Amino acid sequence: MRERDDCDLVVVGHGAAGLAAALSAAEAKPGARIALIERTDETQAGGGTRWSPSNMRLRSVDETAPDFVADMLACGEQTDREYYERLAEEAPAAAAWAQGHGVAFHAPGYYLSSGPPRIQPVGGGAAIVAALARAAREAGVEFHYGLRAESLLRGPGGSAGGVRVERGDGNALALRARAVVLASGGFQGNPQMLREHLGPSAERLRPISPGSAWNTGEGIRMALEFGALRAGDWSGMHSEPVDARTRASAPVVLVYPYGIVVDRAGRRLFDEGAGLMHETWEHYSRQIHFAAAGRKAWVVLDARLQSIEGWQRAVRSELPPIVADTPQALAAITGIDPDGLAATLAAYNAACTGDPAGFDPSCADGLATAPELAPRKSNWACALATPPYYAWPIEGAIAYTFGGLATDTEARVLGREGPIPGLYAAGEITGHFHRSAPNAVAVLRALVYGRIAGRAAIARAAH
């Protein structure tokens, strides 16, 4: 690339959203000059998508899960209805399109409890990145690695007229274009922004995967400086409970609903059975990070764990659990206060008055503790009294942030006067998540709105 260069469209980011945008633009206008800018080298490109299992809330490649829009609005805002309606409408076409480019899908059943139907690419998000990058290259998209987008260039009439990028050697390049798609993710990799928007100690949140570190909110900052409006919950994030002993990518521990979760003092922190795992994991991992001493907790279970068919698929750590024959021995190995743990287990076991024959890990089984126990456990409450005892130390790890850019259903970035001409955004960089992340939707929206952004941006560039 030269120090000044011109193209029709520049796309920032090599994840699901950026690749979908670049490829669909190239398909819509063969021969157009489309440049995709990525800050990492080729081996690391792909952001969160690359490390994500990429579960998608679809019944099959050609059918969305039932109640899709209502479910989205239940964890979002009514103002986003049109955004989710279009997402639901185009989700099957986006999945089929990815399939047409070589992404195979299956439904491996990652969670133990029931929930909305989900499908997953074979090979996870890395398969999406590989397939769409290959197809985009074949369609003529130019890939530029090791270039960090730094600011937006102004075009005629206040439009986005390209991107100023920085090379690893510190030199800057001006890449002029008739339209820009920003798809550079959230700000989970930016400790200052995390602290500013999520509060003290947010800067110490562990990134769930190596890809998270690259998303430092630069695309968001660039667009805000250009007059874009903010949207989404800026203090919101999706986090998950992971094994604190390993630095591997996403070593989630998702068996906590079937046991108890205690802090270092041996005290329970919350109602472990308040809902299905995917309804509670985000809130609980956040609570562990912000409220538990040392930002750490332990999941404690007993021999009943082995009766849960396939429990191993809900633990993605390469390390085995800590195992002991008595709670005292478990406390000695983990460092949990032994008296605190003994007292908690005694109170908890006494409150497990339901018939353990009703224990059913696959659904909310209603097996609750007696109401006087605080915190109560609403489902799967069975005494933990049969050795061996198992424990995993867990901490909250951040997957992505919710705060981002305001966009409309054409993926246009909105400013005070309406859509900013020539500026589009898709994926995690956009702010459409609020109270909690709708389960298995982030990759789907990156694909759907990435395609919408790519088609709309190249249509504008062509005129």
Ligand X SMILES: Cc1cc2nc3c(=O)[nH]c(=O)nc-3n(C[C@H](O)[C@H](O)[C@H](O)COP(=O)(O)OP(=O)(O)OC[C@H]3O[C@@H](n4cnc5c(N)ncnc54)[C@H](O)[C@@H]3O)c2cc1C
Q: Which residues bind ligand X (CB under 6 A)?
A: 12-18, 37-40, 45-49, 51-55, 125, 148-149, 183-185, 208-209, 211-212, 214-215, 218-219, 250, 399-400, 427-428, 440-444, 446
**How far apart (Å, rounded) are the C-alpha atoms in residues 247 and 111?**
22
Pick the closer one to ligand X by CB: 14 or 304: 14
The nearest distance, CB 435 to ligand X, in angstroms, is: 17
The pair of structure tokens assigned to 369 is 């503790």
Hey, what long-range contacts does 368-376 have (CB within 8 A, 24 or more apart)? 368/273, 373/347, 373/348, 375/268, 375/269, 375/270, 375/271, 376/271
Pick the closer one to ligand X by CB: 422 or 427: 427
Say whether 267 sits in a helix, a strand or coil.
coil
- Asked if residue 207 has a cis previous peptide bond (ω within 30° of 0), the answer is no
The nearest distance, CB 418 to ligand X, in angstroms, is: 24
The nearest distance, CB 397 to ligand X, in angstroms, is: 8
The nearest distance, CB 388 to ligand X, in angstroms, is: 30
Pick the closer one to ligand X by CB: 380 or 433: 433
Q: Which residues pair with 400 in a beta bridge?
A: 238
The nearest distance, CB 281 to ligand X, in angstroms, is: 11
Q: Which residues pair with 230 in a beta bridge?
A: 405
Amino acid at 25: A
Pick the closer one to ligand X by CB: 112 or 399: 399
Cα–Cα nearest to 423, from 145, 226, 232, 233? 226
The nearest distance, CB 378 to ligand X, in angstroms, is: 25
- Asked if residue 388 has a cis previous peptide bond (ω within 30° of 0), the answer is yes
Pick the closer one to ligand X by CB: 40 or 280: 40
Pick the closer one to ligand X by CB: 331 or 397: 397
**How far apart (Å, rounded) are the C-alpha atoms in residues 43 and 21?**
20
